[in-house]
Amino acid sequence: MTRLTRHSDLKHRMVTRFQRYVANPVTRRLPLQTLLETTGRVSGLPRRTPVGGRRTGESFWIVSEFGTRSQYVRNILADPAVRVRIGGRWHHGTAHLLPEDDAAARLRRLPRFNSAAVRVFGTDLLTVRVDLAD
């Protein structure tokens, strides 16, 4: 294992723990926080993750900071049917992983605060597009 890989793994573990136990429980409670709801691939239960993204027409765009290592991305791989809460309103949709998309360029078109955090903490950026059904 290279030094860069060890650093990336450590960064992933630290950020994930902070998000899971501190940031996400707080931000999930904010009424206007955008949430992505997936179905747990093992439990089958709804899993809500605070995300920073942007709706463009009938699509909602986000960038995963850890690519397929993100739990919500793993859930999408198992079941792409999702819901997104935007501005306090829930929308059903189908998520698509877009590894061919330039995730760094995509971040420049998404909300600045979240995009900055994804750039700083991310190790394997992956674009996710949700095609909204309603």
Look at residue 71 in the predicted model and tell me its pLDDT: 93
Provide φ and ψ at 106, rounded to 5°: -60, -40
Q: In angstroms, what CA-CA distances link 94 with 20, 27, 53, 104, 127?
A: 24, 23, 15, 22, 14
**pLDDT-based confidence at 22, cuts 50/70/90?**
low
Q: Over 60: is that where the pLDDT of 1 sits?
A: no
Look at residue 95 in the predicted model and tell me its pLDDT: 98
Look at residue 84 in the predicted model and tell me its pLDDT: 98
Q: Over 70: is that where the pLDDT of 39 sits?
A: yes
Q: Over 90: is that where the pLDDT of 114 sits?
A: no
Look at residue 118 in the predicted model and tell me its pLDDT: 80
**Over residues 36-55, mean pLDDT:** 95
